[in-house]
Amino acid sequence: MLAARRSITALTRHRCNIALRGLATQTALDSKDTEPSRINLCTAVNDALQIALENNKRALVFGEDVSFGGVFRCTAGLQQRFGKDRVFNTPLSEQGIVGFGIGAAASGYTAIAEIQFADYIYPAFDQIVNEASKYRYRSGGEFNCGGLTIRAPYGAVGHGGHYHSQSPESFFTHIPGIKVVVAGGPADAKGLLLSAIQDPDPVVFFEPKMMYRTAVEDVHKGEYTIPLGKAKLKRQGTDITLVGWGQQVAVLEKAAQVCQDTFDISCEVIDLRTLLPWDVTAVGKPCCSGLPCNNSHM
């Protein structure tokens, strides 16, 4: 398979330096220990990718600048470990990245595509909506591109401006034939990403870039998966249900604590984790019991 490659531009190098300034990059690539260790979300994603590449010789990782680790260093060390034919750069074309991924997945590869910022996923919208999501249906089940996973860092950081701060996940939650997942922490990011890569449907996987290094928790280094379509109860409550996903869940947890301490209001907090298909039972149960429900979107 021919891999499209290009040199690192000065702008790309500048953006990478900004992302790395003052931040140490953790790595779990060479660890054989299955005991949990405290790592950040970036390292959890990196670990999931190396497990996928190690266990599946037909897995590919590709996108803009992934060969040297990408802007956020989520793919650091992967090309050195698995080679230039399996981890490689692409041209600056989101439509081309996803189109290539669809073709590779339809040909039997496990295609893990990276969109450098979710803000730039829009040129690939047609490929995702009209090609990836419909591939199985339009062929009567004869063909599919279920081996496709599209990773995209999303959300605000504080200095990204209007082209590096968007949260476009809602655009994709109305499209039958794909799944939409948003990680909310390191442990979930690793387990959900491995599930997405193994899922029989194409998955758009959003990663909150603000949490790449700010979110740190115990994560098992071995392989594990978290079922898609299952929400996570983050906090018990009896007065109101707060529903969110991604980095907004941390905001909801803080708000719930303020409500408890200041107003003696008990808030239940639910992390959807998967937006399509979303966990109707987890959200519907408290609502059916009479609790008001508030949804918070960043």
Catalytic (active-site) positions? 94, 164
Residue 26 to residue 50: CA distance in whole angstroms? 14
Cis status, amide bond into 277, omega within 30 of 0: yes
Q: 119 is written with which tokens?
A: 């803000």
Which residue spans within 6-107 are E strands per DSSP? 36-40, 59-63, 87-89
Strand residues in the chain grouped as ranges (E) = 36-40, 59-63, 87-89, 110-114, 148-154, 179-182, 203-208, 216-220, 232-235, 240-244, 267-271, 274-276, 293-295
Q: Which value, in Å, is the radius of gyration of the alpha carbons in the chain?
A: 19
How far is 269 from 271, CA to CA, in rounded Å? 7
Structural tokens at position 44: 């959890």
Q: At 109, which helix (H) or strand (E)?
A: none
Contact 269, 235 (CB under 8 A): yes
CA angle 99/104/107 to nearest 5° reads 130
Mapping DSSP to helix (H, G, I), strand (E, B) and coil, where does residue 114 land?
strand
